[in-house]
Structure 1
Amino acid sequence: MTYKRLSPMDSAFVQLESPSAPMHVAGLMVFERPAKAGEQFVRKLVDDWRSETRICAPWNQKLRSPSRWQLAPVMEETFDPDLEYHVRHLSLPKPGGERELGQMVARLHSQPMDMRKPLWECYFIDGLEGRRFAIYVKFHHALVDGISASNLLMRGLSESATDHRMPPFWVHPAPEKPFQMSAARGVPSTQALLGTAGKLYRLFSSDDRLTTLRSAPKTAINGAISAQRRFATQAFELDRLKTVASRAGVTLNDVMVTLVGGTLRDYLKEKTALPETSLTAAIPMSLRSEGDQSIGNSVGMIYSMIGTNIADPVLRLKKVSESTSIAKEQILGLEPQMRTPYSILSMLPSIASMMTGAAKHVAPMFNTVVSNVPGGKKEKYLRGARLLHLYPANIVFPGLAVSFTCYSHAGFLNVGIIACRDTLPQMQRLATGLEDALSELERELGISPALQSVDEAG
């Protein structure tokens, strides 16, 4: 039997698991049925997948001990997973619109995983209007980060609409982690250690230029959370966002962080709860080497202001771009072998406050998470069914009640918003607020709003 000890970063997600804050992430894939497919297309697909006995890592791995109270969790192989448990078939109530889909996904995302079993679940969701169906796949964060989860799902799809034999996701093995020279350099130099220590000190201090872990104000979206979630989605044509980024001379990621700042500004202002200083966001940053498609977590974290204190959307975008640029310099200025230790150490106080329950009482180290997972440009198919959108669903933590995650696919940027149900009533407005923030930014930049977003909110 093969065993695998989890890395410190992967282990943290096992240790953070709790009834009010389950540590799983998910992807909601919305498909269009093939033109000639009948009403039983999804049922036949479910039956076929459940009969597939081939299963590869990480789909066949489970925790040797399901307890969160362990310093070094170990994964072991299981050779007889219960696919009837892991692959489920659900149907939406009529009319099968985005509201019904969003409510179902919110309920599914609220349910903790059984830590005694392989740490994934797959739900086929039938009854979606417009000849569509959805697949919601849930992974424990100890197994994957956004990039590795995307790679696992994309391996189970085809680039050909005529490919009707593609086996399920779990038949395709994940690549091993490639050899990295930085990992073979041995003990880091004294200069590297001192440089890392200096940057960590700066991150935990007050700094006029850098957004630090002392920059976040206390807000209505930070505090205690409950177990129930809300889920909403929005999709934008990538060309529309790239036009804004090009006109303003910033990155596409800067645009998305600015849109999050705009929608949170309007949301908190409406509730008369907008702080005078800007909210801040933790922004995951991939630390993978080129070609690394292995499973597990390999991310750093940068921190940026999101401009909730700035009314002018163009000025907000400029300040966000400046903030993210300085934050990137902070981590990219480190030697490569020190970037992961720096990221882990920067997150330790936040992890400790979550594990001890202090997070709901103390000032937040950041107010939200804005993550952008790169996808592909080509169309993807599941036995002839075209993938229309893939919406990520992230985690909310104690003291951090809302998270925004983006995923690009075939000309669209798909945004999944996950939030604590009790802390963020009327959370749907955050999804529509992203569109309002983008339209406002286009007007101020003199861009014709010829391209419109695709509202998939639920």
Structure 2
Amino acid sequence: MRQLSELDASFLYLESETTPMHIGGVYLFDASELEKPLAFSTFVAYLRSRLHVVPVFRQKLKEIPLRLGRPYWIDDPDFSIERHLAYVNLGKYGQKASLMTLASKILEEPLKRDRPLWHITFVDGFKLDDNDASSDGFALIVRLHHAAIDAFSGEEIIGKLLEYTPEPRAINAPRPWQPRPEPSEERVIIQAGANILRTPLQFTSLAINAAEATARGLVHKQLRKLPLPFPLFSAPHSPFNRQITANRQIVAASVDLSRLKAIKATIGDVTLNDVVLGLCAEALRRYMNDHGTDTDKSLVAMTPISVRSNSLRRATGNQMSAMLLDLSTNEPDPALRIRRIHWNAVASEPYREAIAADRLTELLPSTMLALSARLYSELQIAQRYQPVFNLPITNVPGPQVPLYLQGARLAQQYNTAPLFDSMGLVIVAISYQGMLTVNFTLCPDVVADGSSLERYVDESLDVIEEAAYSLGPENGHEQAPQTPHQTLTDDALTALEGLLKTVFHRFRR
């Protein structure tokens, strides 16, 4: 048995009808050079032969009775690959817009918990070019639960499943696999008891689980009475921080990676990641300007940092830290903004010394984290006061060589991440074969006219290039400004500390 970390388990407990917690991907393959189309049955056989490279594909959750502890990953004795696959033929509707609409609907559905937490939809009848009838292709719509992977390990999984040469690999018979016996309830409870003794705070988590509804009701009632400070956090109000619904939309824009590298060289003393963040910041600023939103205060992004290492590497799970980063969207010069983003990142403690998020959550049981997140949503903190941050932005470096699936080249990929209550937009940027794709996962009921974000990315790249040429590496090197993000964490902790003291004082009375 392999127990989920507190961070992994929190993604299970955070899941709700409107917030499925899986990472998604839409992978478009060029099949125009194949002698015959790749049949769905061939894909099934190929995937079956590759299951051994991703053990979590055959592992399901084992819940502990009465939630005495975090679930375990165990082998699924009833594993059947057919339960994780679906086939769709778009037929005459084989345009990219139809594919993305289908993907949005599929990604709205939570994964079923009675089996391994992944699913792939094979989409046939797809044309890579809407204006070219000979551009035959197919697509894969992939869902992998965030409890099992993070964005970085998700890319590794796809890389293991695909091929690096255009010559199709022979499809061998699947390796023999015998599921390990499912542990008895007695063994699970004994193991859970041992874990509780090692981590005394789990008793607190148990108490909350035993009377979750009562605890939520009491805390909710007390917090409603509190004169919460304004602002509670330093992130400003934005059109992205409202209650979400179950609806999803995928918007993506691709840019040439060489143009971003040229901007980096022109500005000087910044990283490629700073340029990517600057591109996202300019697109968001343009969106807000065109939709009548005040841009006097800078947006704050939560940016994950991978802390995966060769010496301490797990095949799956979440191995991340994160920092809150001021995007300097109140700076009108898009090139100088990139330099300020770099200053902000360097000044951030997690940038200098990333601490694995699962270490931080060892002191905060996952059920308490989920409860806090629900209260954050139900009390509408982000709407009534100010949000902790405005949106997550993740930049994942992908392979720069082409990948193949039985001779069909991976032409394009779009990646999504879970939305969360009061977070109606998330950005995932992934590079592949000389291109960077900026993926926006959004709730259309929160982010109006979300399709315009694709246009804003293209416009932003043009103006950043022009501004970078004007700025050059010699200018804009004045002393780094004191930005709000440098005290954001301290402000949040101070506010929460005072809030908890007041709550406990009211309970004691």
TM-score range (shorter-chain normalised) is 0.7 to 0.9
- 1:132 deviates by 1.9
Report percent identity of matched pairs: 26
1:407 is aligned to 430
Length, aligned pairs only? 403
Match of 1:254 in 2: 274
User: What amino acid sits opposite 1:281 in the alignment?
Assistant: A
Checking the alignment, whether the CA contact within 8 Å between 1:96 and 1:128 is kept in structure 2 is yes
Aligned to 1:134: 139
**More displaced 10-residue stretch of structure 1: 352-361 or 255-264:** 352-361
5+ residue gaps, structure 1: 173-211, 448-458
Residue of structure 1 in register with 2:406 after alignment: 383
* Residue from 245, 264, 285 that aligns with 2:284: 264
1:185-226 CA distance string (max 9 Å, x none): xxxxxxxxxxxxxxxxxxxxxxxxxxx993211222102110
Which segment drifts farther, 361-370 or 223-232?
Answer: 361-370
Displacement of 1:255 in angstroms is: 1.1
The residue aligned with 2:306 is 286
Q: Do structure 1's residue 396 and structure 2's residue 419 form an aligned pair?
A: yes
Amino acid at match of 1:331: P
- Structure 1 Cα separation of the partners of residues 66 and 461 of structure 2: 41
- Bigger CA drift: 336-345 or 382-391? 336-345
SS at match of 1:300: strand
Aligned to 2:4: 6
Could you say which residue in structure 1 is the equivalent of 2:331? Answer: 310
Larger gyration radius, structure 1 or structure 2: 2
CA shift in 2, pair 1:361/1:101, >3 Å: same
Q: 1:275: Cα distance to partner?
A: 4.0
Any conservation in 2 of the 1:157–1:166 contact (CA below 8 Å)? no
Farther-moved stretch of structure 1 (18-27 vs 162-171):
162-171
Pair 224,344 (structure 1): closer, same or farther in 2 beyond 3 Å: farther
Distance 1:257 1:347, change over 3 A: farther
Contact kept, 8 Å, 2:13 with 2:370, in 1: the verdict is no
Name the structure 2 match of 1:177.
none
CA contact (8 A) 2:302 2:322 kept: yes
- Give the gaps of 5 or more residues in structure 2: 128-134, 178-230, 471-509
**Aligned equivalent of 1:48:** 45
Q: Does structure 2 conserve the Cα–Cα contact (< 8 Å) formed by 1:50 and 1:87?
A: no
Q: TM-score, normalised by structure 2?
A: 0.72
**Alignment correspondent of 1:231:** 250
| Residue 79 (structure 1) aligned to one of 68, 77, 80 | 77
Rounded to whole Å, the distance in 2 between the matches of 1:169 and 1:426 is 47
Q: How does 1:290-369 map to 2 (within 5 A)?
A: 290=310, 292=313, 294-327=315-348, 330-334=349-353, 340-342=358-360, 352-356=371-375, 357-358=377-378, 360-362=380-382, 363-369=386-392
CA distance in structure 1 between the aligned counterparts of 2:174 and 2:287, rounded to whole angstroms? 39
CA distance in 1, matches of 2:51, 2:399: 27
Please list the CA deviations of residues 333-374 of structure 1 after superposition, one character each: whole Å capped at 9, or x if unmatched. Answer: 55x777753477799998554223336343210001110112
Equivalent-residue separation in structure 1 for 2:175 and 2:148 (angstroms): 14
* Paired letter, 1:284: P
Q: Distance in 1 between matches of 2:286 and 2:239?
A: 13
Secondary structure of residue in 1 paired with 2:161: coil
In structure 2, what is the Cα distance between the partners aligned to 1:432 and 1:351?
A: 36
Q: Distance in 2 between matches of 1:68 and 1:141?
A: 23
Assess, with a 3 A threshold, how the Cα gap between structure 1 residues 445 and 15 changes in structure 2: closer, same or farther: same
- Is contact 1:222-1:360 (8 Å) kept? no
Deviation at 1:431, TM superposition (A): 2.0
Question: Is 1:441 equivalent to 2:438 in the alignment?
Answer: no
Structure in which a larger fraction of residues adopt helix: 2
Displacement, 1:326?
1.3
Aligned to 1:103: 101
Counterpart position of 1:220: 239
Aligned Cα RMSD in Å?
A: 3.1
Residue 148 of structure 1 aligns to which amino acid in structure 2? S
